[in-house]
A and B are shown apart, each in its own frame.
Chain A
């Protein structure tokens, strides 16, 4: 069942998105950030924390003089590697302990630094390829159930409790487990270290926590006879670092939006654009599916009015992702079921939007988010709203299905809440499995007209953004009614111009191997 939409308009939207992203890409190519440099060090194997729990990658990058930093952390670090003969982890520890200073090796020729780095860079890339191959082998041997893939969140704050909750959710039918981060982690300019047992509204994203949950889900996958995916959240001040940790620990998905941090966390836009690019290059190489955050437009502003902005943002996210070398099958564009339940025919609008997105991005694993904004303490009504959402998802062939919780807006779900909600989704998706194949949209009917008008409005919006420039458009509050200044927001002091001799060995390798622009 297809809606009749104007393909020429769709093509024009894509061309506009490209025109919008083009100048931003030039900016990205000329700059780097402290988070990008820290993720280079993490990929090499630098890890651990120094005094005061400061991560070693932060200590190293923060100690670089501005002119050294402008050439990239890899050169300064590689010089010390070449001269000391230490491995990256040991050198990192030595710098953290204060026994070595990178500045003391400035005399080492660049070529020696590159040579000393080469085996570690190759090893890191091999490790990522290995993890990717592991995923592919498992998906072959124990395939997932057909989409919509049921995605649930665990968020106790304690990674070991999360493991219990995840195993129970898998048994109930969950196919993707997301460990939501502690509130506020997106604003930390470092990644916490080690296994954690305390957090607010979620569990810290740390490499140790990634490994603990991966192991638990691998066991659960074998028991269930189907591969269970692991998700975490990259958007924030540490996007590339989280991407590198996720690549090393075989996460399968990452929340990674090109504009979410800017709009909803007041993170500096330049910082975000640079960080999302390198993090997506890593995601592309690691075979990680990104999830974009368009659902947030719908929760913070009116869902009916924001529909064109969601579509416009999807085109922009797609373009940014393509430029980082991501194939469509890794671009999980976001949408949500957030229209006010009191609105007559609101369901028709939801179907229109979901089907429109499906048709415009046929190969993208679309991420469909459940009602949250209009969920109240009335769990009975909430369960019904979730059922309507589940029906929309299965009839329009969404891919990544965030299971709505009847206790949304009350607490982080209890184990029983999660099971009831998964059962709701499984019931609806089973009873209506092929419903979408059996019905046709009335030509010229309300659903089709709504979809056409959203597309036309997105086209107009993209023109406007292209005329203004993306950064100016964000400042003018074109997206989600939120205004952000190009040099405002968090993390701007971590953005710097690249010197002519800047070197990022991973970017260099991925540009060749990953096929990104």
Chain B
């Protein structure tokens, strides 16, 4: 069953989008026209430059409404979520007790030079996020928050020494692809050390998607708005499934 969709303004299939951008030219009426033609070249129709003005010497800013002729068949989209088996903290504690019979050891860090711990703290710190307790609070987890700017080598060494079950790598800074480089470096080092299959490997950050994570060789990726219990559920069910498969 196909489900073809377009952006919705106020009428089904009107294809309306809003755009804004800056052009490196002094503003003039010709600048407005340049913006209109540029957006037309992007493939949009019914292009309306609703705002165009000078914002600095040799820079002009535009707000544009336009329609796209493009559509997408939603039925063909595949982007599996890692948040499918969500349980509460109490349920997870009981689940781990039943299926694993020991504490799960989790370590998290902002790897590379990234110093933004807001994401990893939200998942690991006792306090948690949006009223959902962090993994430090769980009876069934032993959580280590290594904090910011942790070298990939140190993270892997820690995983090895402490026999960590699940690694959570966080990246907030994405400038010039630094997040992808760091995530890739971690997978590669784990593989080189022969540890990749011994851990549940998870990445997180505001720009992370589960699809991207699987392409990078991670078991799961969690993006903006993720709750600690969603990560804990994934770790617990994945470990249980691996244990069952090994038996």
CB-defined contacts of B113 to chain A, threshold 8 Å: 182-184, 200-201
Instruction: Check if B32 is an interface residue, CB within 8 A of chain A.
Output: no
CB-defined contacts of B147 to chain A, threshold 8 Å: 266
Q: Which of A94-102, A117-125, A410-418 contacts B (4 or more CB under 8 A)?
A: A410-418
Instruction: Check if B209 is an interface residue, CB within 8 A of chain A.
Output: no
Instruction: Check if A172 is an interface residue, CB within 8 A of chain B.
Output: yes
A448 shortest CB reach to chain B, Å: 28
Chain B: CB-nearest residue to A202: B175
Contact with B along A277-305 (1 / 0, CB 8 A): 00000000000000000000001111000
B31 shortest CB reach to chain A, Å: 14
Given contacts A200-B173, A414-B22, contact A167 B148 (CB under 8 A): no
Selected from A184, A377, A412, A415, the residue in CB contact (under 8 A) with B56 is: A415
Chain B: CB-nearest residue to A305: B127
Which residues of A, 300-317, contact B by the 8 Å Cβ criterion? 300-302
In contact, B118 and A183 (Cβ under 8 angstroms) = no
In contact, B115 and A183 (Cβ under 8 angstroms) = yes
Contact with A along B13-33 (1 / 0, CB 8 A): 000000011100000000000
Instruction: Check if B57 is an interface residue, CB within 8 A of chain A.
Output: yes
Chain B: CB-nearest residue to A155: B175
In contact, A183 and B173 (Cβ under 8 angstroms) = yes
Give Cα distance in the complex from A300 to B116, angstroms. Answer: 9
B63 shortest CB reach to chain A, Å: 10
Which residues of B, 143-177, contact A by the 8 Å Cβ criterion? 147-149, 172-176
Given contacts A184-B113, A200-B113, A300-B117, contact A419 B176 (CB under 8 A): no
In contact, A264 and B56 (Cβ under 8 angstroms) = no
Give Cα distance in the complex from A182 to B61, angstroms. Answer: 28
In contact, A299 and B59 (Cβ under 8 angstroms) = no
Instruction: Check if B38 is an interface residue, CB within 8 A of chain A.
Output: no
Which residues of B, 130-153, contact A by the 8 Å Cβ criterion? 147-149
CB-defined contacts of A302 to chain B, threshold 8 Å: 127
In contact, B175 and A168 (Cβ under 8 angstroms) = no
Which residues of A, 64-121, contact B by the 8 Å Cβ criterion? none
In contact, A300 and B114 (Cβ under 8 angstroms) = no
Which residues of B, 86-127, contact A by the 8 Å Cβ criterion? 113-115, 117-118, 121, 125, 127
Selected from B61, B172, B178, the residue in CB contact (under 8 A) with A416 is: B61
Selected from A376, A409, A415, the residue in CB contact (under 8 A) with B59 is: A415
In contact, A265 and B149 (Cβ under 8 angstroms) = yes
CB-defined contacts of A168 to chain B, threshold 8 Å: 55-57, 59
Chain A: CB-nearest residue to B55: A419
Selected from B149, B172, B176, B206, the residue in CB contact (under 8 A) with A157 is: B176
CB-defined contacts of B173 to chain A, threshold 8 Å: 183, 200-201
Give Cα distance in the complex from A171 to B57, angstroms. Answer: 8
Contact with A along B206-227 (1 / 0, CB 8 A): 1000000000000000001100
Give Cα distance in the complex from A377 to B209, angstroms. Answer: 14
In contact, B206 and A415 (Cβ under 8 angstroms) = no
Selected from A171, A377, A412, A416, the residue in CB contact (under 8 A) with B20 is: A416
Selected from A157, A184, A376, the residue in CB contact (under 8 A) with B115 is: A184
A175 shortest CB reach to chain B, Å: 15
In contact, A377 and B206 (Cβ under 8 angstroms) = yes
Give Cα distance in the complex from A421 to B225, angstroms. Answer: 25
Selected from B57, B148, B174, the residue in CB contact (under 8 A) with A264 is: B148
In contact, B114 and A377 (Cβ under 8 angstroms) = no
Give Cα distance in the complex from A376 to B224, angstroms. Answer: 8
Give Cα distance in the complex from A81 to B206, angstroms. Answer: 55
Instruction: Check if A478 is an interface residue, CB within 8 A of chain B.
Output: no
Give Cα distance in the complex from A133 to B225, angstroms. Answer: 51
CB-defined contacts of B56 to chain A, threshold 8 Å: 167-169, 171-172, 415, 419
In contact, B118 and A299 (Cβ under 8 angstroms) = yes
CB-defined contacts of B149 to chain A, threshold 8 Å: 183-184, 187, 265
In contact, A200 and B176 (Cβ under 8 angstroms) = yes
CB-defined contacts of B175 to chain A, threshold 8 Å: 157, 200-201, 411-412
CB-defined contacts of B118 to chain A, threshold 8 Å: 299-300, 373
Which residues of B, 14-69, contact A by the 8 Å Cβ criterion? 20-22, 55-57, 59, 61
Give Cα distance in the complex from A430 to B237, angstroms. Answer: 56
B3 shortest CB reach to chain A, Å: 25
CB-defined contacts of A266 to chain B, threshold 8 Å: 147-148
Contact with B along A408-442 (1 / 0, CB 8 A): 01111011100110000000000000000000000
Instruction: Name the residue among B56, B57, B173 with the largest chain A CB count within 10 angstroms.
Output: B56
CB-defined contacts of A419 to chain B, threshold 8 Å: 55-56, 59, 61
B48 shortest CB reach to chain A, Å: 19
CB-defined contacts of A167 to chain B, threshold 8 Å: 56-57
Give Cα distance in the complex from A377 to B148, angstroms. Answer: 22
CB-defined contacts of B172 to chain A, threshold 8 Å: 409
Contact with B along A299-340 (1 / 0, CB 8 A): 111100000000000000000000000000000000000000
Give Cα distance in the complex from A420 to B118, angstroms. Answer: 26
A296 shortest CB reach to chain B, Å: 10
In contact, A415 and B22 (Cβ under 8 angstroms) = yes
A420 shortest CB reach to chain B, Å: 8
Give Cα distance in the complex from A410 to B172, angstroms. Answer: 9
Which residues of A, 162-188, contact B by the 8 Å Cβ criterion? 167-169, 171-172, 182-184, 186-187
Selected from A182, A183, A409, A420, the residue in CB contact (under 8 A) with B206 is: A409
Give Cα distance in the complex from A420 to B55, angstroms. Answer: 9
Give Cα distance in the complex from A172 to B60, angstroms. Answer: 12
B49 shortest CB reach to chain A, Å: 15
Give Cα distance in the complex from A410 to B116, angstroms. Answer: 13
Selected from A200, A301, A416, the residue in CB contact (under 8 A) with B21 is: A416
Instruction: Name the residue among A167, A169, A186, A419 with the largest chain B CB count within 10 angstroms.
Output: A419
CB-defined contacts of A420 to chain B, threshold 8 Å: 61
CB-defined contacts of A201 to chain B, threshold 8 Å: 113, 173, 175, 178
Chain A: CB-nearest residue to B175: A201
Contact with B along A33-50 (1 / 0, CB 8 A): 000000000000000000
Chain B: CB-nearest residue to A183: B113
Contact with B along A178-207 (1 / 0, CB 8 A): 000011101100000000000011000000
Give Cα distance in the complex from A397 to B57, angstroms. Answer: 31
Give Cα distance in the complex from A278 to B172, angstroms. Answer: 33
Binding site for B on A (CB under 8 A): 157, 167-169, 171-172, 182-184, 186-187, 200-201, 264-266, 299-302, 373, 376-377, 409-412, 414-416, 419-420, 481
Binding site for A on B (CB under 8 A): 20-22, 55-57, 59, 61, 113-115, 117-118, 121, 125, 127, 147-149, 172-176, 178, 206, 224-225
20 contacts between A and B (CB under 8 A): A157-B175, A167-B56, A167-B57, A168-B59, A169-B56, A183-B178, A184-B113, A184-B149, A200-B113, A200-B176, A201-B173, A201-B178, A265-B148, A300-B117, A300-B121, A409-B172, A410-B206, A415-B56, A416-B20, A419-B61
Name the 5 nearest CB pairs between A and B, nearest first: A184-B113, A168-B56, A416-B22, A419-B55, A183-B113
